[in-house]
């Protein structure tokens, strides 16, 4: 019921938002610009770009998402000729990607907290009604696909770590394929490599340290599975980057950067890094500055962590700077969400420590989750300082961190579950968050329809 309800509000949002609204670098159909232009390239050309992808906005991204969108449009237009030319149908794919992601998050929550459905359902509600995931459901860029594939590859790696003796090779092939495809969706899919490697290496060394002769065959079997992983994941995940480097000299770490330099209003490169990291000016979280603030006469958002909390609720749009119901609800969502994330974050030591005296398998899996959390934060901060702009401080670049937040929140809920008052309070906050998210997008409909008209 939680997943169906969240699916309904995302479907409602997708039904009224245009491909020209709330899109990151959406672009224009049938042009060499933006994500929409990249999709329509495959509609008309049906081939990979045969030019230096650095010369066309967003064409440097891997082709998987854009090709799939073009195939969907071709199929629907063929089956239903009256829809011919309606590119907004492509929003069905990100909607489905986010739906599958929420289901996978639920499966992972059950994997770690299988005996407590109450705390799993509360954490699932927190995830399912995330405003960021609703917004992502209608975006025609590749963020939703890389999120789904990254969560799926991590989930499969957990299953491999648990069932490696009975279903090891099948799960290894599936993990390799989904990990490789995540890199074909977006370069940021590489962040899940660290937790996967931790799970793989733990299993290998545990078996290696066993002295019995019968276990030597297991070590060989695991090693062969690693070889299979590399044979599948490497070509699937890297061919696009190798191709562009070989044909056009595109660096492996290339990132499109249209505007550069101090003259750009979002530029933050003239502010010392430590100032940005430790600037917790209360104005950052004041009601006036609910949304990310660009350069103004009085204030500018510079702290990546606070920007992460803000953009998780409203992405990088103001929705409206006016003091109306949408802004009030957004501010309530921001405060509740930040509070719940911080409650979970302080439970990270307990999340690991709960399994220290138990089986090592469960402990390593929890360490893998924490490594994913740390890897994403390091990746995020590195990106924010390599490209010092307000727009790089966006939650969508590390959206898989919501899985870690949910698991840490479950740890907090598990800790307080014997206290009925605190449990009821957390249930109330979760309900307010979910209802507020629904109200936010219902009210936003009239705003966007008025802007469109």
In a domain, 322, yes or no: yes
Q: What is the pLDDT of residue 297?
A: 58
pLDDT at 406: 97
Note whether residue 78 is domain-resident.
Answer: yes
**Please, where are the H alpha helices in 294-400?**
304-314, 325-345, 348-353, 360-386
Q: Whole-angstrom Cα distance, residue 251 to residue 426?
A: 48
Domain assignment present for residue 297? The answer is yes
DSSP 323: S
Task: Check residue 324 and give its pLDDT.
Answer: 83
In terms of domains, do 124 and 45 share one?
yes
Final residue of a domain: which of 107, 141, 175? 141
The confidence score (pLDDT) of residue 436 equals 96
Distance between CA atoms of 130 and 121, rounded to whole angstroms?
Answer: 14
Same domain, 345 and 365: yes
Of 141, 163, 194, which marks where a domain is finished? 141
- The answer to whether residue 422 sits within a structural domain is no
pLDDT at 356: 76
Instruction: Please state, in angstroms and as integers, the Cα–Cα distance from residue 414 to each residue in 51, 114, 120, 218, following that order.
Output: 54, 12, 10, 36
Please say which residue of 197, 228, 251 terminates a domain: 251
pLDDT digits 0-9 by tens, 420-451: 999 999 999 999 999 999 999 999 888 777 76
Q: Distance from CA of residue 303 to its chain's centroid? A: 20
Query: In terms of domains, do 45 and 59 share one?
Result: yes
What is the token pair recorded at 185?
């969706």
How are the residues of the chain apportioned to helix, strand and coil, as percentages rounded to the nearest 5? Answer: 70, 0, 25
The domain total for the chain is 3
The upper half-sphere exposure of residue 433, i.e. CA atoms within 13 Å in the direction of its Cβ, equals 27
Q: Give the pLDDT confidence score for residue 427 in this predicted structure.
A: 96
Same domain for 409 and 265: yes
User: Which pLDDT belongs to residue 270?
Assistant: 87
- Identify whether residues 81 and 128 lie together within a single domain: yes
Same domain, 182 and 241: yes
Q: Are residues 222 and 267 in the same domain?
A: no
Tell me if 445 is assigned to some domain: no
Q: Are residues 274 and 402 in the same domain?
A: yes
Answer yes or no: do 165 and 283 share one domain.
no
Per-residue pLDDT of the chain (453 residues; tens, 9 = 90+): 999 999 999 999 999 999 998 899 899 999 998 999 999 999 999 999 999 999 998 999 999 999 999 999 999 999 999 999 999 999 999 999 999 999 999 999 999 998 789 999 999 999 999 999 999 999 999 999 999 999 999 999 999 999 988 888 999 999 999 999 999 999 999 999 999 999 999 998 888 887 555 567 778 888 999 999 999 999 999 999 999 999 999 998 888 765 566 666 678 888 999 999 999 988 888 888 888 887 665 788 999 999 999 999 988 776 656 778 888 999 999 999 999 999 999 999 999 987 777 778 889 999 999 999 999 999 999 999 998 988 899 999 999 999 999 999 999 999 999 999 999 999 999 999 999 999 999 998 887 777 665
Query: What is the rounded CA–CA span in Å between residue 263 and residue 297?
Result: 15
Residues 405 and 270 reside in one and the same domain: yes
* Euclidean distance between CA atoms 385 and 253, whole angstroms: 15
Instruction: For residue 33, list its beta bridge partners.
Output: 57
Full domain range(s) for residue 16? 1-141
CB of 368 within 8 A of CB of 200?
A: no
In a domain, 429, yes or no: no
Shared-domain flag, residues 357 and 270: yes
Q: Positive or negative, the Cα torsion across 301, 303, 308, 310?
A: negative
Could you tell me if residue 452 is inside a domain?
no
| 228 and 156 part of one domain | yes
Q: What is the pTM of this model?
A: 0.95
Q: What is the pLDDT of residue 446?
A: 84
430 located within any domain: no
Give DSSP secondary structure letters for 395-418. GGGGTTHHHHHHHHHHHHHHHHTT
């Amino acid at each position: 019921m939680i997943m169906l309800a969240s699916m309904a509000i995302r479907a409602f949002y997708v039904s009224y938002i245009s491909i020209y609204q709330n899109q990151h670098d959406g672009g224009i159909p049938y042009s060499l610009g933006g994500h929409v232009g990249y999709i329509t390239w495959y509609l008309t050309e049906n081939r990979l770009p045969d030019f230096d992808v650095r010369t066309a906005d967003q064409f440097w991204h891997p082709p998987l998402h854009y090709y799939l969108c073009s195939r969907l449009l071709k199929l629907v237009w063929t089956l239903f000729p009256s829809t011919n030319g309606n590119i907004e149908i492509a929003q069905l794919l990100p909607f489905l990607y986010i739906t599958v992601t929420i289901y996978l998050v639920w499966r992972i929550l059950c994997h770690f907290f299988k005996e407590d459905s109450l705390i799993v359902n509360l954490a699932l509600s927190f995830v399912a009604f995330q405003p960021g995931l609703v917004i992502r459901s209608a975006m025609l860029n590749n963020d939703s696909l890389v999120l789904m594939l990254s969560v799926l590859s991590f989930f499969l790696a957990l299953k491999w770590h648990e069932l490696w003796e009975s279903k090891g090779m099948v799960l290894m092939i599936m993990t390799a394929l989904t990990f490789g495809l995540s890199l074909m969706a977006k370069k940021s899919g590489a962040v899940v490599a660290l937790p996967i490697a931790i799970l793989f290496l733990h299993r290998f060394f545990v078996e290696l340290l066993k002295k019995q002769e019968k276990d030597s065959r297991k070590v060989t079997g695991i090693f062969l599975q690693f070889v299979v992983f590399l044979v599948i994941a490497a070509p699937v995940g890297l061919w696009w980057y190798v191709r562009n480097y070989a044909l056009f000299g595109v660096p492996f770490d290339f990132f499109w950067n249209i505007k550069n330099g101090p003259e750009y209003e979002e530029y933050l490169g003239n502010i010392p890094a430590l100032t940005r990291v430790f600037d917790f000016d209360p104005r950052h979280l004041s009601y006036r500055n609910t949304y990310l603030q660009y350069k103004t006469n009085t204030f500018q958002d510079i702290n990546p962590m606070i920007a992460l909390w803000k953009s998780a609720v409203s992405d990088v749009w103001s929705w409206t700077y006016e003091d109306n119901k949408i802004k009030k609800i957004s501010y309530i969502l921001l405060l509740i969400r930040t509070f719940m994330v911080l409650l979970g974050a302080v439970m990270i030591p307990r999340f690991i420590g709960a399994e220290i005296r138990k089986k090592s398998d469960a402990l390593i899996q929890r360490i893998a989750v924490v490594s994913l959390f740390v890897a994403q934060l390091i990746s995020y901060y590195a990106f924010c300082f390599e490209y010092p702009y307000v727009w790089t401080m966006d939650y969508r670049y590390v959206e898989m961190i919501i899985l870690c937040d949910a698991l840490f929140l479950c740890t907090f809920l598990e800790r307080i579950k014997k206290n009925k008052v605190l449990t009821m309070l957390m249930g109330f906050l979760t309900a307010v968050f979910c209802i507020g998210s629904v109200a936010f997008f219902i009210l936003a409909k009239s705003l966007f329809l008025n802007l469109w008209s």
